[in-house]
Structure 1
């Protein structure tokens, strides 16, 4: 009897622990902070708006990269103030600047793609201006 009660209490405690550690926002998912076009924009077909958002995100990322590069320069100029931690700060600043630059390039590429998509194009119909060839009958 005591072992059954202990098993039940252990099972309830385990379930409580699992429930408290479970991710509660699993339906929302995690958005990437570099993503400029969100699915709830309501303008999925408006490539000009999406292109502007990507271009603005690229500009913001370049500003962040520039800030990290300034921090890196500060760490290099004042090594004596930070000791061993300065090397860690330098490595982190280099890594973050690289990350922001790559994300900015990616956002700019997405912006350029959507900018091309927003440009009006002439319809290119199959056989436009050319005679239609009939399939030969056997």
Structure 2
């Protein structure tokens, strides 16, 4: 009886882990399909200009997030926090700043790329 109970518990544990891990795996590999399709179907100058504006808007949003995180970091520096709480808040905020800055940079590069494609198409016409 004890081994059957142990087997049931082990099976339920494995199922629980699989259920909890599945949304994480799908979220990590999520690709924004409408944007990907729009990029692949962009053939006109206006399409590339629209994509460039989209990426510029995203870059601007990321830059706003960078500024918000920098303000939070300043607040964390002013208040008296000790030990791991202080370290965790500051390190997580710095990591988010780096993440948002990288996202803003890559979106600006993508916008520039689409602007160049739009100008190339304009020169062809």
TM range (shorter): 0.5 to 0.7
In the superposition, the TM-score normalised over structure 1's length comes to: 0.62
Is 1:121 the counterpart of 2:118? The answer is no
1:31 to partner: Cα distance:
2.7
The equivalent residue for 1:83 is: 82
Length, aligned pairs only: 110
Structure 1 unaligned runs (5+)? 1-5, 124-138
In the superposition, the TM-score normalised over structure 2's length comes to: 0.68
- Comparing both structures, which one devotes a greater share of its residues to helix? 2
Distance 2:95 2:23 in 1: 31
Alpha carbons of structure 1 residues 43 and 73: separation in structure 2 relative to 1, 3 Å: same
Does structure 1 retain, via aligned residues, the 8 Å contact 2:73–2:90? yes
Is 1:99 the counterpart of 2:99? The answer is yes
Cα RMSD, aligned residues only: 3.4
- 2:107 alignment partner, SS class: helix
Q: For the pair shown, which has the larger CA radius of gyration, 1 or 2? A: 1
